[in-house]
Structure 1
Amino acid sequence: MSYRKNFQFDNGQYYHLSFDTLVDLSNIDMRLRYMLVHFCLDIEHCIKTKLLNEITFQTEDDGYSFLGKYIASNNNPSKIKQKILTQIKRTNSKLYDKHHAQLPLWVVMECCEFGVLESILAFYLASNPNSALIKLNVNRIEADNNNISLLSYVRNIRNKAAHNSVILNSI
């Protein structure tokens, strides 16, 4: 088990390590993953809800025009549109059948992957500097002269937790 890495190893022997301890760490790790995945899903839901609310009620855009601007601003608009349509079709074929000709933002938010949400949010915040989402500092921080998306950390934690990756293997 990978939890053994948390224990001192010397002369070919782990100190204070037993099978019961490994089982306990495994259970703690599992419960931590369950908590983390719920936290991450709550963060994702809150960001989607706030973003949709702001676009709908506080901007000149509606969900259709905003999404059109987002797609048009991309380096390869047809590729990003196809990626979004593929995600929608894979997630909910009825929504795809109804909206594939003209996409509303709420359908994309319902079906898109976290990376698409990050990209849409970055586009929105670039054109709406007074957004409440900027005040939450969810999009970017400076670290050693590199822009890092805080949401990418949430996505990574969510993916590790959802795919049962061991979290407590080197603490």
Structure 2
Amino acid sequence: MEDRRKKLSIPGQIAHMRSKGIKFECMSEADAKRFLNDNNYYFKLKAYCKNYDKNAKGEYRNVDFAYLVDLSTIDMHLRKFIMKTSLDVEHFLKVKLLRDFLLDGSEDGYTIVDEFFTSHPAVKTEVIEKGKSSYCSDMIDHYQENFAIWNIIEVLSFGHFAMLYSWFYCKHPSRDSMSNMLLPIKSLRNAAAHNNCLINKMGAPYKVEITPNMTVNTYVSRIPGISPKTRQKKMVNPVLHDFIVLLYTFEAVVTSKKTKEMAYTELKDLFEARILRHSEYYADNAVLVSSYEFVKKTIDFLDTNGI
């Protein structure tokens, strides 16, 4: 019970932020109150303070309320891009899976699903339960005892599709399988879908340590201007790592030129226009600047050189 904190009114939230060193110079207190009332909430907004150091008194150094607002807006745009790109990746992974299945004369389409369900009965149970209420109910009701690979992929969640994808390529190994990319993409997609803050801990250590994906880490090592030390430091940040894995996988599996052009146009607009709109806010924040430069160099290299 000692960790339970007192409920704060919006004026109380403003006062609490002031006590923590947060300034209201770029955005007035009146505008901040309106923002907290209409656009976002205190707990989520204050999370971006983790990108800043504190002084000996426990006050944040060089943080204005406007900086937190801008970071929250950038984060929102980033989450939207991640969701859209993840859907594109999922679609083209399904295209690839079915293309490789058709080329394999040993599979009839039904046996592999039966084997998959036998090994993962909880997945089949969830599919049957989904048939009671989802938009896929007619399909599930029709095929539930006779699923084939070409229709089961229409009703699986992304996480379960990733399991089936990995199951197929475990049976039929392929050098261009993306199986080892799917867990990071799933984690990032889930975080974006649940509106979790993504860019609130660019420098702070995460409790869960990750091992960078070897393929993507090697790819990043080829990018001019990214030193081994920088790569090592940035690729253990889950958000930076998983975002780079998503971009790499997108470049590797998407075969539609138009889809790629649209994604890179949106991505460059975000990184060359929106993120830089208030670049003066972050000029002296080395962690945010270096994280931005790391991702921007990776985007440019992917766009120019491909995989």
Instruction: Give the AA of the match of 1:70.
Output: F
Separation (CA, whole Å) in 1 of partners of 2:127 and 2:60: 50
Counterpart position of 2:54: 9
Instruction: Give the AA of the match of 2:88.
Output: D
Matched, 1:85 2:146: no
Counterpart position of 2:179: 139
> Could you list the per-position Cα deviations for residues 74-128 of structure 1 after superposition, in whole angstroms to 9, with x for gaps in the alignment?
1x65x44323333455431111222123112222211112232222122211221
CA-based RMSD of the aligned residues comes to: 2.0
Q: Which has the larger radius of gyration?
A: 2
Which of these residues, 91, 95, 115, is aligned with residue 49 of structure 1? 95
Which of these residues, 65, 68, 84, is aligned with residue 111 of structure 2? 65
Separation (CA, whole Å) in 2 of partners of 1:87 and 1:49: 23
Counterpart position of 2:170: 126
Counterpart position of 1:146: none
**TM-score w.r.t. structure 1 length?**
0.79
Matched, 1:94 2:118: no
Separation (CA, whole Å) in 1 of partners of 2:153 and 2:133: 14
Separation (CA, whole Å) in 2 of partners of 1:164 and 1:60: 43
Greater displacement, 33-42 / 56-65: 56-65
- Cα displacement (A) at 1:159: 0.4
> Could you list the per-position Cα deviations for residues 127-147 of structure 1 after superposition, in whole angstroms to 9, with x for gaps in the alignment?
212x3xx424x223xxxxxxx
Distance 1:80 1:15, change over 3 A: closer
> Could you list the per-position Cα deviations for residues 10-41 of structure 1 after superposition, in whole angstroms to 9, with x for gaps in the alignment?
12322221111111001111111111122222
Question: The residue matched to 2:79 in structure 1 has which SS?
Answer: helix
Counterpart position of 1:170: 201
Distance 1:13 1:86, change over 3 A: same
Instruction: Give the AA of the match of 1:9.
Output: K
Instruction: Give the AA of the match of 1:124.
Output: F
Separation (CA, whole Å) in 2 of partners of 1:90 and 1:106: 22
Greater displacement, 61-70 / 82-91: 82-91
Separation (CA, whole Å) in 1 of partners of 2:105 and 2:98: 10
Identical-pair percentage: 30
Separation (CA, whole Å) in 1 of partners of 2:87 and 2:179: 16
Give the conservation status (yes or no) of the 8 Å contact 2:130–2:137.
no
Structure 2 gaps, min length 5 = 1-45, 203-307
Greater displacement, 1-10 / 83-92: 83-92
Structure 1 gaps, min length 5 = 141-149
Distance 1:15 1:4, change over 3 A: same
Counterpart position of 1:103: 147
Instruction: Give the AA of the match of 1:135.
Output: D
